[in-house]
Structure 1
Amino acid sequence: MNLFNVYPLFNINPVKAQGSFLWDDKGEKYLDFYGGHAVISIGHNHPHYQSRLKEQLDKISFYSNSVQNELQTELAEKLGKLSGLEDYNLFLCNSGAEANENALKLASFHNGKKKVLYFSGSFHGRTSAAVSVTDNPKIVAPVNYDERFIKSEWNDIEQLEKIFEKQGNEISSVIIEGIQGVAGIMIPTAQFLSKIKELCEKHNTVLILDEVQSGYGRSGYFFAYQEFGVEADIVTTAKGMGNGFPIGGVLIHPKFQASNGLLGTTFGGNHLACVAAIAVLDVMKDENLLENSKKMGEYIENEIKDFPHIKNIRRKGLMMGIELDRNCTEVRNSLLYNHHIFTGNASDNRVLRVLPALNIKKEETDLFIVALKTVLQNL
């Protein structure tokens, strides 16, 4: 049997990782400035993370959600305190797409409506409803397309108001990323988010903040939307939550009523996943990683902002999109193959995406800064 060939692959096979570095099967060392799509939040193989998982392996790895699991309670308590959402409730699942699926379903259960509003440039996942609110026709199969899903332009208040004026009473939820990642680090304006919240309240519509990529301290706030003082009805999270161990979460406002069987999952909230997520929260708190995210992100931006060929830098914390005056492929490949540094791209092919671990050190950022300057000067 062969693998189903859906991924364009770099010819690199990482076999070991530590902190912000990877090593391939030939012994070459790489700086990880992308974290596998913002997944690596506390660095590879952090000692506290390793020890908690190893200890749990000696106890129990999995049982279903038909029994009590005190690790789920510990995770919910710690997540509530660190995020500031202590009065919310937590549903655990396995991925960002699954978190968004459950959020959309829960919203529809709550108000009995079936239309969903999403935005241009959005990426919410590849599963049924999640891909239907993702702005990429290439990955929306005919079976996923439905007129219930309404697209509005990013940061366009006038269009938003017109849609709600015509269809507001039919819209179950609005789903929006705290910061759009795949689109190239597109940041909503405070006025835009405030207007969305205002219209949602007026029309009994649920506001879902997709913080799968922008959450967990990535922006310098625990969740990116919190910078703007807007209250979300539902928050979804995943990528940085488990530092590589698959886990997702739906944070649910207390106005939503739970009932037996309303939501469910086989693997969600298993013992190993919970321990991984608890370890991440412990490290984030003990090492003050939200502050480090702000500090290191600002340092990188200040150092590179005057480099040649950079048109614009969009950044919150350590979530950065570097917009070039050309396709970024040559720059990204040169960083990877000539300087051994992983970075990412975006749906806008001019944008280089930078998503290092939240505990990145200054001397590690300097490696990237020097390499990027060299590559850009040699274009």
Structure 2
Amino acid sequence: MKLFDVYPLFDLNFVEAEGSYLWSDKNEKYLDLYGGHAVISIGHSHPTYVKMITRQLHNIGFYSNSVRIPIQEEVAKLLGKASGYDTYEFFMCNSGAEANENALKLASFHTNRKKVICFTKAFHGRTAAAVAATDNKKIIAPINETDNFIFLPFNDIEALDNTFKSNEIAAVIIEGIQGVGGVQIPSTAFLQKIRVLCDRYESLFIADEIQSGYGRTGKFFAHQHANVQADIITVAKGMGNGFPVGGVIISPKIEARHGLLGTTFGGNYLACAASKAVLEVIESEKLMQNAQEMGDYLYEQLKDNESIKEIRYIGLMFGIELKTPCAPFRNQLLKDFRILTGNASCPNTLRILPALNITKKELDIFISAFRTIARLNAKKEEVNQNRKTVLT
């Protein structure tokens, strides 16, 4: 049997990882500035993380949600304290897509409506409702097509206002910062308008913090920079530092009942151990503060580079939009400097999503490599322009 070929792969096989570094089977060392789509929040193989999962595995790894699992309650308490949503309730699942699926379902149950507002360049996952709320027709199968999702221009307050007036809206779903869309940041006014309209029309505000949450922006959730409170918040990625886990943070105004939601593997002992370790490390090592400081440092070092059109960032969630397509630049970083970065749906945007405990020393390696490549590319462009001038 062969693997189903759906991923374009780099020819790399990593066999060891620690902190912000990975080692290949050829004993080549790579600097990881992408964390597998912002999943690695506290660094690869963090000792607290390894110790907690190992200890849990020796005790018990799995039983279903038909019994009490006290470590779920421990995670919920820590998460409430860290995020400021301590009066909310928590449902654990397995992934970001599943979290968004449950969030959309809860909103529909609560409001008894089915229309949801989402936005251009949005990405919410690849399951049924989540992919229908995603702005990419290439990944929406015919079975997922529905008119229940209304796409509006990102950051367009007037369009938002008009849509609420002419539809019965169950919810608005918006990423704290759009990741796949190229690190597009919702304005404070836009997020505050969503909150006002959801209150006015008794709709729910769903904040998808799957990539932008868990301290990445210097606050626990990106939407908190706008001083708004969501009704439902979805989390995953950095939540488990590589262990598959997701969750839904739910306003107390949404009533729970037995059978409303369910999962076989969600909230299992190992997922909870991973989640607990992440929350403890974020607090004990002051990683939200580090994310803000390192993000500002990286911005200051790159902001005047001539190869860059725009830098969009908060904390350690970076979209570096180049003046040219980023694929060759990204490949040069990987091939010549062994640095892993990400791309986005907009072809010129390089995405940087390192672990929250990244250091200046590690960022300086990237900064030096970036400047070198930019300088060499500028020289090549100058030579090409001179040739064209001679030929004409």
- Deviations along 1:103-153, one digit per CA (max 9) or x if unpaired, are 000011101001111000100000000000000000011110111111010
Which residue of structure 2 aligns with residue 203 of structure 1? 201
Structure 2: which amino acid aligns with 1:98?
A: E
Considering only aligned residues, what root-mean-square deviation do their CA atoms show, in Å? 0.5
Q: Determine helix, strand or coil for the equivalent of 1:216.
A: coil
**Structure 2: distance between partners of 1:318 and 1:325:** 22
What residue is the counterpart of 1:124 in the other structure? Answer: 124
Q: Partners in 1 of 2:244 and 2:39 — Cα distance? A: 10
- Distance in 2, Cα, partners of 1:301 & 1:149: 36
1:62 is paired with a residue whose SS is: coil
Counterpart pick for 2:243 among 242, 245, 251: 245
Alignment partner of 1:236: what SS? strand
- Please give the alpha-carbon distance, in whole angstroms, between the structure 1 residues aligned to 2:196 and 2:86: 23
Q: Deviations over 1:234-279 (max 9, x none)?
A: 0000000000000001000111110000000000000000000000
CA distance in 1, matches of 2:277, 2:32: 21
Percent of counterpart pairs with the same letter?
Answer: 58
Aligned to 1:294: 292
Asked if 1:234 is matched to 2:235, the reply is: no
Q: Give the match's secondary structure for 1:121.
A: coil
Query: 336, 351, 354: which is aligned to 1:353?
Result: 351
- How far did residue 154 of structure 1 move? 0.1
Q: Deviations over 1:306-328 (max 9, x none)?
A: 12210110000000000000100
Q: How far apart are 1:211 and its partner, in Å?
A: 0.1
Distance 1:195 1:303 in 2: 34
Q: Find the aligned partners of 1:306 and 1:228 in 2 and give their Cα distance.
A: 27
Paired residues, number: 377
1:42 aligns with 2:38: no
Alignment of 1:311 onto 2:305: no
Tell me the CA shift for residue 203 of structure 1.
1.0
Q: Secondary structure at the match of 1:315?
A: strand
Deviation at 1:82, TM superposition (A): 0.7
Paired amino acid for 1:361:
T
Alignment of 1:318-329 (within 5 A): 318-329=316-327
Deviation at 1:3, TM superposition (A): 0.3
Match of 1:213 among 202, 211, 214: 211
Other-structure match for 1:61: 61
Task: Report the alpha carbon displacement of residue 95 of structure 1 after superposing the two structures with TM.
Answer: 0.3
Give the stretch that moved more between structures: 45-54 or 303-312: 303-312
For 1:160, give the aligned amino acid.
L
Task: Tell me how far 1:204 sits from its aligned partner.
Answer: 1.1
Letter in 2 for 1:174: V
1:196 is displaced (CA, Å) by 1.0
Q: After the TM superposition, which residues 165-204 of structure 1 pair with which residues of structure 2 at under 5 Å, given as runs?
A: 165-167=165-167, 170-204=168-202
Runs of 4+ in 1 over 4 A off after TM superposition: none
- Secondary structure, in 3 states, of the residue corresponding to 2:138? helix
For residues 37-63 of structure 1, the C-alpha deviation after alignment (integer angstroms, 9 at most, x for no partner) is 000000000000000011111100000
Matching residue within 264, 271, 276 for 1:273: 271
What amino acid does structure 2 have at the position aligned with 1:27? N
1:25 Cα deviation after fit: 0.6
For residues 274 and 161 of structure 2, what CA distance do their matches in structure 1 show? 42
Separation (CA, whole Å) in 1 of partners of 2:82 and 2:103:
21
Note the alpha carbon deviations across 1:260-303, whole angstroms, 9 max, x for none. Answer: 00000000000000000000001000000000000000001101
The residue number in structure 2 matching 1:114 is 114
Counterpart position of 1:139: 139
TM-score computed with the length of structure 1 as normaliser: 0.99
User: Which position in structure 2 is the counterpart of 1:341?
Assistant: 339
Question: For residue 74 of structure 1, what is the aligned residue in structure 2?
Answer: 74
Q: Which amino acid aligns with 1:308?
A: E
2:386 corresponds to which residue? none
Compute the displacement of 1:231 (Å): 1.2
Q: Quick one: which amino acid aligns to residue 67 of structure 2?
A: V
Give the match's secondary structure for 2:59. coil
Query: In 2, Cα distance between the equivalents of 1:231 and 1:32?
Result: 33
Letter in 1 for 2:211: Q
For residues 309 and 248 of structure 1, the distance between their equivalents in structure 2, rounded to whole angstroms, comes to 37
For 1:262, the aligned partner's letter is: L
Equivalent in the alignment of 1:161: 161
Q: CA deviation at 1:374?
A: 0.6
**How far apart are the structure 2 equivalents of 1:36 and 1:378?**
28
CA separation in 1, counterparts of 2:354 and 2:306? Answer: 22
For the residues of structure 2 that align with 1:194 and 1:281, how far apart are their CA atoms?
A: 28
Q: What SS does the corresponding residue of 1:276 show, helix, strand or coil?
A: helix
Letter in 1 for 2:85: L
Counterparts of 2:18 and 2:188 in 1: how far apart (Å)? Answer: 38
User: Which residue in the other structure is 2:27 paired with?
Assistant: 27
Matched position secondary structure for 2:61: coil
Any unmatched runs of 5+ in structure 2? 378-392
CA distance in structure 2 between the partners assigned to 1:166 and 1:97 by the alignment: 29
Unpaired runs of at least 5, structure 1: none
The one-letter code matched in structure 2 to 1:278 is K
**Corresponding letter in the other structure for 2:7:** Y
Offset of residue 343 of structure 1: 0.2
